[in-house]
Structure formats: C-alpha cells, structure tokens
Amino acid sequence: MEKLLADLNLRYELNVPLGPLTWYGVGGPAAALAHPSSIQQLSSLLVRCREAGKEVYILGQGANLLVSDRGVDGVVVKLDDPNFSGMEKQNQKIVAGAGMDLARLVLQAAKAGLAGLECVAGIPASLGGAVRMNAGGAFGDIGRSVKRLQVMDASGQVYYRQRDDLMFGYRSTNIVAKCILQVEMDLTPDDPEELIKRVKEIFLYKKNSQPLADHSAGCAYKNPDAPGEDEMANLPRALLRVPVAREGRYSAGMLIDRAGLKGYRVGGAEVSPQHANFIVCYPGCTATNVLEVMTHVEQVVLDTFGIRLQREVVVWP
Ligand SMILES: Cc1cc2nc3c(=O)[nH]c(=O)nc-3n(C[C@H](O)[C@H](O)[C@H](O)COP(=O)(O)OP(=O)(O)OC[C@H]3O[C@@H](n4cnc5c(N)ncnc54)[C@H](O)[C@@H]3O)c2cc1C
C-alpha cells in the first residue's frame, strides 16, 4: 500500500481503524485512509488504485455505514480537506463541496433566507453522503433541491450530472459515479427567522422520536412497499393487521416491533427499545454482533410477515 500511494503527493495513513469514523463505532481497519486536497490528487489516486486492482471506498460521516470486523483491504477516501467542504451562495443557489457537514449547510441556508433544506435537519451526514442516499424523511428529502452534481468516475474522469437525468427515489438515487465532488442546489427565498424556527422544530421532532444519542446508523432497513390489491388474498394473516404507514409502504420499524423484536440483543448490539428500526451498539459491541442481530431480524420478519426487509445501512466490504 505504501508503494501504491507514496509518490502521489497526498496525505494518507496506513492501517487505520474505521470504527471511530462511523456512527456505529465498530468495525475493522482500512488498509489506507486518504485525504485528497484537490480533484487532481483524487483523480490520480483513483487511476493508481484501478491499475493496481485496489478497491476505493468513499467515506462521508459514516452515519449510514457498518464496517465489518475484517475492515477493508483498499483505500478509503475522506473528503475532509477544506477544498472539498466549502460553500458559496449565488442568489437562490448554493454550491457546496461534498465533504461539507450537512447540519452546517442546513443552518447556513436558513440564515441566508434560502428554503428547501430544512427537511433534512437533524440527519447526520456529509453533503455527498446525503445526496448519494437521498437522505430525508417525513418532511421531504435532499434530492428535490439538487440542481446539478459534479462527480468523478472510477477512472478519475470528472463530469456533471444535470437535474433532468438524475433520479431521486426513496433512499435511493441513480448516481453511479465513484465520488460526488460538488453539489449545486436550487433553493427558494424565505424569511430567515421562520426557517431557523422550522429547522429547530424538525430537529426536535427527530430527537424525540429516535435514539439520536446512541451509536447506530439511523434506520437499518428501508420501509417495504405494501402489496397491491391483487396480492391481498395471499398475504400472511399477521400482515393484514399491520397498517400501511406512508406513501404505500409499511413501516419497517412497526414490522420489527410487531414481530416482538424490540430489545433483541446479541453481545453489544440491540434492536432499540425506543425505535425498532434502529440497531444500537453498546460498549463491547462488534460489527459481527450487529450483523447477527440483522440476520435474525430479517429472518423473523420474513417468517412472520412474508416480507424480505431491504437494508438501508451500507455494509463494507
Ligand atoms: C442517528 C441517526 C439518524 C439518522 N436519521 C436519518 C434520517 O432521518 N433520514 C435519512 O435519510 N438518513 C438518516 N440517517 C442515516 C444517515 O444519516 C444518512 O444515510 C446520510 O445520508 C449518510 O451520510 P454520510 O455522509 O454519513 O455517508 P456515509 O455513511 O459515510 O456513506 C453512506 C454511503 O454513501 C457513500 N458516500 C458518502 N459520501 C460520498 C460521496 N461524496 N460521493 C459518493 N458516495 C458517497 C458511501 O460510499 C456509502 O456508500 C441517520 C443516521 C443516524 C446515525
């Protein structure tokens, strides 16, 4: 790894534990952690890794990430250099680096009297991670504010993706590029005081309904689609008693709760007693504990309701 990176004129460290860089706080090391300070450096790094057959992983704030106990035998890139985390306001538009802290961006936009990002208040993320996951919730998602993206593909080429060819779905996007570099957002003028009030309200709503202080990756599972009318006759009886929560989907948390799994624990990992879609880590927890809880939850929900839960949390490798 040293040989691979040494002449790239890039800041990096070898054999870095990734747990402390994620919200779960568990998992093994990365063979290397790189902090490029320019597009050119990142591009050279991607070219070099591609030639050497080494995988590159992009790390945001690790708020939706579970790193396995083995860690990753590749290069993890963190866009924490100021060149990747600045922001500029241009009339109704904000252009910001993908490494920018989402909470800071939300507040800056509100203070500048630009509406549209309040809906993601309280969601821990880098801007790039938020766009990649289309972070959001009951109040909306970040995708609806995105106008244009500057991205880099795995061969180090930079290009732009325009609003028209971007698709933002429920916790999903059609972004296939290796790395989001910069995000251009189209916002709406509004009263800064009202916006700041709204940001605080949404933050409090989240704080009161989710275990924000515990180690977790937020919701472990996506809310599954409810079946169509024609499938109703064949549904397991237990599922008929579960109400469809929102936008034609069941709440994954409600399914896990009704399957009796709140408080289910393996080692230091537990299905949160406060919010069943959160798997939280206590001292001594390992990534294997979290994965064991997930495997059990998935099996019990499948057996009880005939529903295969889809993971929202990204697992490395
Ligand atoms: C307490 C808590 C509450 C949460 N609540 C919510 C919520 O209400 N709504 C919600 O949607 N999510 C929620 N989450 C999940 C998480 O906040 C979001 O998924 C967030 O978007 C993750 O951003 P990140 O920067 O931490 O990405 P990471 O977790 O670091 O990475 C997630 C994925 O994005 C990729 N990625 C990161 N940065 C880039 C980039 N620049 N370019 C390309 N790919 C990139 C990574 O490779 C990885 O595949 C919550 C998490 C926690 C811990």
What is the full per-residue pLDDT of the chain (317 aa) written as tens digits? 999 999 999 999 999 999 999 999 999 999 999 999 999 999 999 999 999 999 999 999 999 999 999 999 999 999 999 999 999 999 999 999 999 999 999 999 999 999 999 999 999 999 999 999 999 999 999 999 999 999 999 999 999 999 999 999 999 999 999 999 999 999 999 999 999 999 999 999 998 888 888 899 999 999 999 988 788 788 888 998 999 988 899 999 999 999 999 999 999 999 999 999 999 999 999 999 999 999 999 999 999 999 999 999 999 99
| Residues contacting ligand 1 via CB (< 6 Å) | 23, 57-65, 79, 98, 123-126, 128-130, 132-133, 135-137, 171, 179-180, 210, 212, 216-218, 314
| pTM (predicted TM-score) | 0.97
Same domain, residue pair 78 and 90: no
* Residues 199, 205: Cα–Cα separation, whole Å: 10
Q: What angle is formed at CA 188 by the lines to CA 183 and CA 190, rounded to 5 degrees? A: 130
* Structural domain containing residue 9: 2-82
Catalytic, 119? Answer no
List the CATH number of the domain containing 239: 3.90.78.10
List the CATH number of the domain containing 32: 3.30.43.10
Same domain, residue pair 270 and 198: no
| Ligand 1: nearest atom to the Cα of 124 | 17
List the CATH number of the domain containing 174: 3.30.465.10
Q: How many domains does the chain have?
A: 3
Question: Of 16, 51, 82, which one is at a domain's C-terminal end?
Answer: 82
Question: What is the structure's pLDDT at 228?
Answer: 83
| Tokens, residue 304 | 């009880």
| Tokens, residue 251 | 């709440």
Same domain, residue pair 174 and 101: yes
* Residues 97, 130: Cα–Cα separation, whole Å: 12
Same domain, residue pair 130 and 237: no
Question: Of 209, 241, 273, which one is at a domain's C-terminal end?
Answer: 209
Question: What is the structure's pLDDT at 211?
Answer: 85
Question: Of 56, 82, 108, which one is at a domain's C-terminal end?
Answer: 82
Q: Are 67 and 316 in contact (CB under 8 A)?
A: yes
